[in-house]
Amino acid sequence: MSYVDLNPVRAGIAEGLESSDFTSIQDRILALQGAVKAEDGNKLATPAPITKPVLMAFGETEKNADGAAVLPFRVKDYIELTEWTGRCIRGDKAGHIGANIPRILASLGISPGQWQVLALQVQKQSISMLNGLDALAKHERRAAKRKEV
């Protein structure tokens, strides 16, 4: 998720997460602020009816009270982690967004160096895995065939 949310920053077309148009992290930040972008893109307006798909919720556990799956950490921790990842300067990218370690890394027992290695591994893996369930199913079938050999 962080990889996709950072695409506008890495491409140099957004200065930060709040200005990363068409990303789920921008939607989550605006939701936390209690506002959505106005149609002209310049002003903030009061919340409007949601016409986009609902984003998966964050929570302290793997499921909420209704039994629906949630991302098992706080949205603020995810935003902080993504922002911190975006501050990492990469020579092969046009843009970037502290030295402070996000709380989620500490709670997961992951060092900043380990997170950077994990984030780079995701970027190096086939992006087709991020293109939907069909691509993921194809990837799983290929992986299963390799195990059989």
Amino acid at 63: K
Domain ranges of the chain: 2-148
20-23 contact pairs (CB < 8 A, 24+): none
* Degrees to nearest 5, angle at CA 63 with 59 and 69: 95
List, for residues 85-113, the tens digit of each pLDDT value: 887 767 777 776 645 666 677 666 677 77
Q: How confident is the model at residue 2 (pLDDT cuts 50, 70, 90)?
A: confident
Least confident range from 46-50, 54-58, 77-81, 117-121: namely 46-50
- Tokens in use for 51? 């016409």
pLDDT at residue 65 tops 70 = no
List, for residues 12-54, the tens digit of each pLDDT value: 888 778 888 888 888 888 777 664 444 555 555 555 555 666 7
pLDDT at residue 122 tops 80 = no
List, for residues 129-140, the tens digit of each pLDDT value: 455 666 667 778
CB-based contacts of 135: which residues, under 8 Å, 6+ apart?
128, 129
CB 112 within 8 A of CB 101: yes
